Structure 1
Amino acid sequence: MKKQLFFLSLFTILVSSSLLAQKNTKIGAFMAYGSEIENLGLGLNAEFDLTEKLALSPSFIYYLPKDEYGFKANWWELNADAHYYFLQEEQINVYGLGGLNYSHIKVSYENAWGYGGDYSASDGRFGLNLGGGINFNLNEKWLPFAEIKYVLIDDGQLVLGAGIKYVIN
């Protein structure tokens, strides 16, 4: 599983770096909410225009650690999405998205119920993303955005996100 994550990350980095010279490269930060973990996350994303209507958008979300009943959960996800812009107006751009997801969770607890010992387990899964979003054209350099997607993985997770992108070139 670690090899798959390594190769997915390497592929994303290689494709991203080769596309940096493209017009309208954007980088951004956002806040997200995951329905399955029921917690807020912090994310980083980028967007590389492939054509006028199609863009590649890798992202990473780290959900804030959660501690319930002595159990600590750490969850993060890596995404490689494609955005298809079907509405491009002066003030807004609306897109549909689809892509790949890798989600990782680690659950641990220390000295559970006073019996001593530390226990932990982790798991990673691949899934698919389906959703859409909207960019608000504030000016030539800053793009606030909102996005909703459903991650098709096990029980699934709805992810709501909002943030801002900065146009590099």
Structure 2
Amino acid sequence: MKKIIFMAFFALVSTFASAQELGVHGLFRTDSGNFGLGVQGRYNFTKEIRGAASFNYYFQTNNVSGWDLNANAQYLFPVGNGFTLYPLAGLTYLHATAHVDNLLAGANNVSTGKLGVNLGGGVDYQLNDKVKLNAEPKIQLVGGSNELVLSVGVVYSL
């Protein structure tokens, strides 16, 4: 298990190191109400096809915090005036921790992690040669449930 986690981390770091774009974003999970912050790396394989990897941390809300690791494929549609639209599909690993205070046993944390699927889309707006604004709604299908995740951020071209 440690080897798998190490390889996933190494792959994500390698993506960031060779990425054409790096970004930061704020997120909101609509069902759980968690706000989060994330980082992403994006790489254009062709003019139309882009890969994106991201790590997001969700702050504790209603005694639940978490993080996710995502790998998505995006197909780009430049629509003019600095706007680019894209659908996305990919994989996610979502890890959540419930923080429980038990009067008899003290504080307990219960954690779980599950693999899932991302489906959604997004829009980039080119501010200048190096900087884009980004908005991205996606549904994460994880363990028989689905949740809408909204993100807004800024991306820097290397």
Q: What whole-Å deviation, never above 9, does each CA across 1:66-108 have from its counterpart, x for those lacking one?
A: 2x4xxx3221101011111023424101111111100001112
TM-score of the pair, normalised by structure 2: 0.89
Equivalence for 1:141: 130
Say yes or no: does 1:34 pair with 2:35. Answer: no
Per-residue deviation, residues 27-66 of structure 1 (Å, max 9, x unmatched):
1111111123212111111111111011111011111112
Give the match's secondary structure for 1:156: strand
Partners of 2:2 and 2:80 in 1: how far apart? 42
Match of 2:119 in 1: 130
Partner residue of 2:97?
A: 106
The unaligned stretches of length 5 or more in structure 1 are none
CA distance in 1, matches of 2:12, 2:40: 12
Counterpart for residue 163 of structure 1: 153
Report the alpha carbon displacement of residue 147 of structure 1 after superposing the two structures with TM: 0.4
The answer to whether the 8 Å contact 2:15/2:53 transfers is no
State which drifts further: 2-11 or 100-109. Answer: 2-11
Partner of 1:49: 44
**Percent of matched pairs sharing the same residue:** 31
- Of the three residues 29, 53, 58, the one matched with 1:58 is 53
Aligned to 1:74: 65
2:108 matches 1:119: yes
1-side partners of 2:31 and 2:68: how far apart? 13
Q: Does 2:95 align with 1:95? A: no
Residue 149 of structure 1 aligns to which amino acid in structure 2?
K
Pick closer, same or farther for the CA change 1:102–1:96 going to 2, 3 Å: same
Q: Distance in 2 between matches of 1:134 and 1:9?
A: 27
Distance 1:118 1:130 in 2: 36
Q: 1:3: Cα distance to partner?
A: 4.6
Deviation, structure 1 residue 12: 2.9
- Specify the SS of the correspondent of 1:115: coil
TM-score (norm 1): 0.84
Pair 33,85 (structure 1): closer, same or farther in 2 beyond 3 Å: same
Rg larger for: 1
Structure 2 gap ranges (5+): none
